Structure 1
Amino acid sequence: MHFNGGLKMSIAQYSSAGQKAVNEDSLGIRMPDEDQLTTKGAVAVIADGVSAAEAGKEAAETCVTGFLSDYYSTPDSWSVKRSAQQVLNALNRWLYGQGQHYLQAEKGYVSTLSIAIFKSQTAHLFHVGDSRIYRLRGGCMEQLTRDHAMPIGRGQSYLTRAMGLDINLDVDYRAADVAVGDVFLLSTDGIHDVLSSARMQAIISEHGDDLNSAGQCLLDEALAAGSDDNLSCQLLKVDALPLEDAGDVYRKLTALPFPPPLSAGMVVDGLVIEEEIHASPRSQLYKVFDGTANRHYVMKTPSANFNDDPAYIERFILESWIGRRIQSEYVIDVIEPPKTPSYLYYLSDYSPGLTLGQWMLKNPKPATQAMLDIIVPVAKGLQAMHRRDTFHQDIKPDNILVGEDGKIKIIDFGSCYVAGLAEIAVPIERDIVLGTAQYSAPEHVLGRRPSGRADQFSLAVIVFEMLTGQQPYQGRLQHCTTTVAFSRIEYVSACRYNPHVPIWLDAALSRALSISPELRYNDVSEFVYDLEHPNTEFMKDEFKPLLTRNPLRTWQGISLFLFLCLLWSLLR
């Protein structure tokens, strides 16, 4: 990737049993290879097994080894926060479960835990218990965590929060900026309970770049100061941050040239161009044939209009990166090219058929089941993307393929938001491609944080259009650009355009099309479930038409209208 590498750190860590017979502290640091260093970051973990717990040592070791192993097994498209919290919750449940073998949970597998994850130009900190994380910058030592402990007198305290102490884990999270020269210190209470912040700062500053000597000195001084606990510390100095030079980024982005204008019969890296499928101002699609594999692919090439635009090139490169990480039968497959590419392009699976937009022209106002046969697979494809912390952001009929074999696939990753990539800073202004206005959720237009509920909104627009032949909100969505404008539009029932639409289905649409994302379904699967199964909540009076709720008032209104019409005709 163009943003690989650049993060360099000096590290040191020390641990000692001190005056105790057994060392119940555990610590570990992992600096992965270049790809994972970029997408997952470098990790430092320190844990202090609770002395009062019979399995404190085992708990601390499990926290460190388990986190370092499992964190790097999470998808690299996930954000740091999501990845870490998933792993921490699983570790906590395991520790708590093991602790149930003891009469009291606090006597079982209990440990403090502090984690620093360095990704791009940010330190993501996770903390529970009374171990600590400090940052030394410009001669100032700052404690970045707070102790979860309650003093009970005579220098004693008990933990109010720890790993394995309760089935529900409450972890502090903080994102701290990182600068070259910063030194991060992770320590257990055997050190920071006897050494002041000022003294620890002085020791680290006195030893300069020699972190090994600084770490050993911290342990020695704490022991000499009367520490009667295990002593552990980790020191991490930031020597360099990734991609601070825009020129370096541009050189990486332009390592492959744009392809020349392509036409039928031309050969690119052994792939025969058969025909142009689609062309837009931003890209071209070609049907190509690989004679070696005897397969057809779709080749997507960048538009020559952007050959000197680094933001566009980055967005194009990320499309294939995203596509290769979404594994779903309902999302188009991105294929590794048979040869090392000599130009900038990527390949996806070729699936002959129609776009949903073309299908809708041939099948206006389809039956509910025909609509569901298409929408349910699309929703499953979106779920696969959302599980990867990836939001499509441009769900529309032209980005859904209805194959000749009946298979439904989501295509085009040009507008995708990936939480894990959004955390990686680059010294260029990123290309933010908004979805098509008439299918976009209001939060896209208003520049708010992306979420899966925005894709749900777009899917609901498509359902409304399939069943009614009309756009929701009377087609006024695409003209709204402000909060005030969105507040002025009102949902018009799908039943008005198509009386065959069931009341409960229209109610589900109304909820999924809420202007405020908080009022929509929590997940797209819940929306689709209500499309397939009549929700009894939607059969209540407030969701029924007036004729059903109050037939007397309805006919009274009709009679009054007819009387006024008759009176008007007599007075003419």
Structure 2
Amino acid sequence: MHFDGGLKLAIAQRSSAGQKPVNEDSLGICIPKDEQITTKGAVAVIADGVSAAEAGKEAAETCVTGFLSDYFSTPDSWSVKRSAQQVLNALNRWLYGQGQHYLQAEKGYVSTLSIAIFKSQTAHLFHVGDSRIYRLRDGCLEQLTRDHAMPISRGKSYLTRAMGLDINLDVDYRAADVAVGDVFLLSTDGIHDVLSSGHLQELIGTITIAADLDAICQQMIDEALAAGSDDNLSCQLLRVDALPLEDAGDVYRKLTALPFPPPLAVGMVLDGLVIEEEIHASPRSQLYKVFDATANQHYVMKTPSANFNDDPAYIERFILESWVGRRIQSEHVIAVIAPPLAPTCLYYLSAFAPGRTLGQWMRDNPKPSSKQMLDIILPAAKGLQAMHRRDTIHQDIKPDNILVGDDGQVKIIDFGSCYVAGLAEIAVPISRDRVLGTAQYSAPEHVLGRKPGAKADQFSLAVIVFEVLTGHHPFQGRLENCTTTAAFTRLEYIPACHYNPHVPLWLDAALSRALSISPELRYNDIAEFVHDLQHPNPVYSKDNFQPLLTRNPLRVWQGISFILLLCLLWSLRR
């Protein structure tokens, strides 16, 4: 990747049982050597098994080894926060379950846990318990975590939060900026309870590029023991020596390592692929049907437009399209294919699926039934769910980006506007290309520049459902003209049954909810939306849409009589 490498850390860690016969602390650091240093980051973990718990040592070791193993197994398209929280919740449930074998849960598998994940130019910190994370910058030591402990007497306290203590885990999260020269310290209470912040600052402040971090870790342990520490003692030091790609020139050179393809025509051969047909051309890209004689397979080749050969933001987005496509595994999302030969220029291949776009299908089927609509929308929704599970938002769901195959298969195509949470965390010194979706299908939050979410794809899918069923765009086609919050709030939803009387009220109500201008009012998940498209939701039953006088005339007249009685009593009092 063009943003590979660049993060360099000097590390050291030490742990000692101290005055205790058993060391219940555990710690570990993992700095990947491959692409994961960019997509997942470098990780430091420290845990302090609760000494009052019979399995504190096992709990601490499980926290460290389990997190380091499972975190790097999560999809690299996930954000750091999502990946870490998923792993932490699973670890906590396991520890809590194991602890139920003991008479008292707090006597089981209980441990503190502090984690620092260095990705790009940010340190993502996760913390529960009373171990700590500090940052030394410009000679000043700052504690970045807060202790989850309640003092009960002098020198005694109990943990209010810890791994394995409760089935519901409450972890502190913080994203801290990172600068070259920063030093991060992770420690257990055997050290920081007896050495003051000032003393720690003095010790760590001696760190230079040539400093022996191992020796400083050992010195902290020795001085804590000399100061009377009677607990296990553990610490980790991480010095930031370099950050990824701070120079725009370096990024541009990596982005342009492969040249743009030459002008292609039918019959030409590129890297063993025969150009058979130009499928589509736009100002931003070209699509060709190509044939690989070696594999006897047809593919679709996407090439960048020569109009952008000096635009690093455009080139980056084009490169990331294939990166995204390779990571979405779903029969309802078009597959990105590895080229048969090493590419000599910039392009990528996807599977060839004979068919037509949903836009063309709608022109060929102007009055489809609800079943025909569902036969297309349900698989499209499953494709979107597969993307959302990878923390990826499509951001340009429209009829021309849904392919209806000749075999009936429905696939989502085009990753040119995708937002990937894991990639968004990686800083680059160029202005990233922000490609908006098609205006008449875009959710308001896209147009207003707000943070994207899965509910935006739900909105776009609902626009398509409305159009398939009615032949019209929702909000009388005024959606594409809105550019401000005020303009969106003035939109009025015209029911689908106004255009197509065969649309049931309950289905129309589901559409209305998914098309809410505010994301908070939409369904929590696309699965809920498509369920309500298939099954009448009692909340949206016909009775709920009838006037109260029609549904329950007795209650209406009882209410009117009660109001008249109150008016009569009030007049008599006067």
TM over 0.5: yes
**Deviation string, structure 1 residues 344-370 (Cα, Å, up to 9, x no partner):** 000000001010000000101210000
Please give the root-mean-square deviation of Cα atoms over the aligned residues, in Å: 1.2
How far off is 1:33 after superposition?
A: 1.6
Give the corresponding residue for 2:566. Answer: none
Aligned to 1:45: 45
SS state at 2:19 partner = coil
**Residue in 2 that maps onto 1:382:** 384
Cα distance in 2 for residues equivalent to 1:492 and 1:80:
41
State the AA in 1 paired with 2:7: L
Q: Distance in 2 between matches of 1:329 and 1:543?
A: 39
TM-score, normalising length: structure 1? 0.95
Instruction: Write the distance in 2 (CA, Å) between the matches of 1:352 and 1:454.
Output: 29
Give the secondary-structure state (helix, strand or coil) at the position aligned to 2:452: coil
- Is 1:355 matched up with 2:357? yes
Structure-to-structure mapping, 1:12-411, within 5 angstroms: 12-208=12-208, 209-411=211-413
* Letter of the 1:91 counterpart: L
Q: Deviations over 1:253-312 (max 9, x none)?
A: 000000011000000000000010000000000000000000000000000000000000
Alignment match, 2:571 = none
Q: 2:509 aligns with which of 507, 510, 535?
A: 507
1:491 aligns with 2:483: no
Post-superposition offset of 1:544: 4.4
Q: SS at the partner of 1:275?
A: strand
How far, CA to CA, are the matches of 1:545 and 1:295 in structure 2? 61
Matches within 5 A, 1:458-497: 458-497=460-499
Provide the rounded CA distance (Å) in 2 between the counterparts of 1:541 and 1:122: 54
Distance 1:546 1:128 in 2: 53
SS in structure 2 of the partner of residue 491 of structure 1: coil
Distance in 1 of aligned mates of 2:499 and 2:250:
56
* 1:465-523 Cα distance to aligned partner (Å, 9 max, x none): 00000000000000000000001011110010000000000000000000000000000
Structure 1 residue 546: deviation in Å?
Answer: 10
Q: Distance in 1 between matches of 2:306 and 2:490?
A: 41
Q: Which secondary structure state, in structure 1, belongs to the residue aligned with residue 257 of structure 2? A: coil
Displacement after TM superposition at 1:543 (Å): 3.0
- Please tell me the residue identity of whatever aligns with 2:353: S
Q: 1:255 to 1:207 in 2, by over 3 A?
A: closer
Cα distance in 1 for partners of 2:30, 2:36 equals: 11
Shift of the alpha carbon at 1:542? Answer: 4.5
Whether contact under 8 Å (1:207, 1:213) holds in the other structure is no
- Pair 1:334–1:545, CA change in 2 (3 A): farther
Q: TM-score, normalised by structure 2?
A: 0.95
8 A Cα contact 2:183 2:238, kept in partner: yes
Partner of 1:435: 437
Distance in 2, Cα, partners of 1:175 & 1:306:
35
> Sequence identity of aligned pairs in percent?
83
Q: CA deviation at 1:214?
A: 1.0
Are the counterparts in 1 of residues 184 and 237 from structure 2 also a CA contact under 8 Å? yes
Q: Deviation of residue 380 (structure 1)? A: 0.2
Inter-partner Cα distance in structure 2 for 1:360 and 1:542: 32
1:507–1:543 contact (8 Å) kept in structure 2: no
| Partner in structure 2 of residue 452 of structure 1 | 454
SS of equivalent to 2:327: coil
Alignment deviations for residues 371-402 of structure 1 (CA, whole Å, 9 cap, x no partner): 00000000000000000000000000000000
State whether residues 10 and 239 of structure 2, in contact with CA within 8 Å, keep that contact through their aligned partners in structure 1.
Answer: yes
Go from structure 1 to structure 2 and tell me whether the alpha carbon gap of 1:546 and 1:393 turns closer, same or farther (over 3 Å shift). Answer: farther
Distance (whole Å) between structure 2 residues aligned to residue 549 and residue 74 of structure 1: 53
Between the aligned partners of 2:547 and 2:33, the Cα distance in structure 1 is 62
Q: How far 1:549 moved relative to its partner? A: 6.3
**What is the CA–CA distance in structure 2 between the aligned matches of 1:199 and 1:110, rounded to whole Å?**
30
The answer to which of 541-550 and 222-231 deviates more is 541-550
| Shift in Å, 1:437 | 0.2
Distance 1:162 1:306, change over 3 A: same
Distance in 1 (CA, whole Å) between partners of 2:475 and 2:549 is 23
Q: How many residues are aligned here?
A: 551
Match of 1:554 in 2: none
Cα distance in 2, alignment partners of residues 547 and 432 from structure 1? 52
1:414 to 403, 416, 421: 416
Cα pair distance change 1:299/1:548, threshold 3 Å: farther
Judge conservation of contact 2:505–2:542 (CA < 8 Å) in 1.
Answer: no
Checking the alignment, whether the CA contact within 8 Å between 2:506 and 2:542 is kept in structure 1 is: no
